């Protein structure tokens, strides 16, 4: 009886470990570029667009994740060019084009539009579509 109970607990422990393992695999599935983009986003964009892109006082439409309207930009290039010209809204020159590319990768990743571990390059952005919902 006791043995059976211990075995049951051991089983739960193994499940918990497996879940933890799956989680860390998921974290690694973010490329270094996406992680860099996440940091930049938190530093330069979240103030106006919310910690999770959900929208803020200045602009209420989500800019990634559920309810975003990025499909109007058609491709990752369109989104990049918008960010390049206009964002951060208070001073678009505050971050470099390379950093804006990382933010685009982050936006795509959070919107389910970038495969795990994927890295984007400027030259390839026109070939990455942003489909409507
Ligand atoms: C000072 C506030 C502010 C900051 C900081 C800011 N934005 Fe914005 N953002 C806005 C406003 C306001 C708009 C709407 C502009 C308009 O409609 O003309 C906007 C619009 C956008 C849009 C268009 C969304 C859509 O659906 O039309 C994107 C994409 C975007 N911002 C990305 C970013 C990114 C990426 C950063 C950081 C690099 C950033 N923004 C930083 C205020 C800000």
Q: Which residues line ligand 1 (CB under 6 A)?
A: 44-45, 47-49, 58-59, 61, 63, 69, 82-83, 87-90, 103
Task: Provide the 10 A C-beta neighbour count for residue 8.
Answer: 10
Each residue of 95-117: pLDDT tens digit? 999 999 999 999 999 999 999 99
Domain 31-127: state its class: mainly alpha
Q: Which atom of ligand 1 is nearest to the CA of 82?
A: 29
The pLDDT score that the predictor gives to residue 58 is 83
Distance between Cα 87 and ligand 1 center (Å): 6
Each residue of 7-66: pLDDT tens digit? 444 444 444 444 433 444 454 689 999 999 999 999 999 999 999 999 988 899 999 999
Residue 133: pLDDT over 80: no
Q: Domain coordinates of the chain in residue numbers? A: 1-30, 31-127
Q: Which two tokens stand for residue 74?
A: 């058609």
Q: Which atom of ligand 1 is nearest to the CA of 44?
A: 37
Task: Provide the 10 A C-beta neighbour count for residue 109.
Answer: 24
b/e sequence 13-51, b meaning 16+ C-beta within 10 Å = eeeeeeeeeeeeeeeeebbebbebbbebbeebbeebbbe
Each residue of 50-83: pLDDT tens digit? 999 999 888 999 999 999 999 999 999 999 999 9
Distance between Cα 29 and ligand 1 center (Å): 27
Q: Which two tokens stand for residue 58?
A: 């200045």
């Amino acid at each position: 009886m006791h043995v059976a109970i211990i075995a049951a607990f051991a089983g739960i422990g193994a499940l918990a470990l497996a879940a933890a393992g799956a989680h860390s695999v998921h974290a690694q599935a973010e490329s270094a570029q996406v992680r860099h983009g996440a940091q930049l986003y938190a530093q330069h964009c979240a103030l106006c667009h919310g910690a999770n892109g959900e929208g803020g006082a200045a602009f209420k439409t989500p800019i990634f994740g559920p309810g975003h309207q990025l499909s109007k930009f058609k491709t990752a290039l369109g989104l990049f060019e918008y960010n390049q010209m206009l964002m951060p809204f208070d001073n678009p020159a505050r971050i470099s084009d390379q950093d804006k590319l990382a933010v685009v990768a982050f936006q795509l990743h959070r919107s389910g539009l970038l495969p795990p571990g994927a890295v984007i390059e400027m030259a390839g952005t026109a070939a990455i579509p942003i489909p409507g919902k």
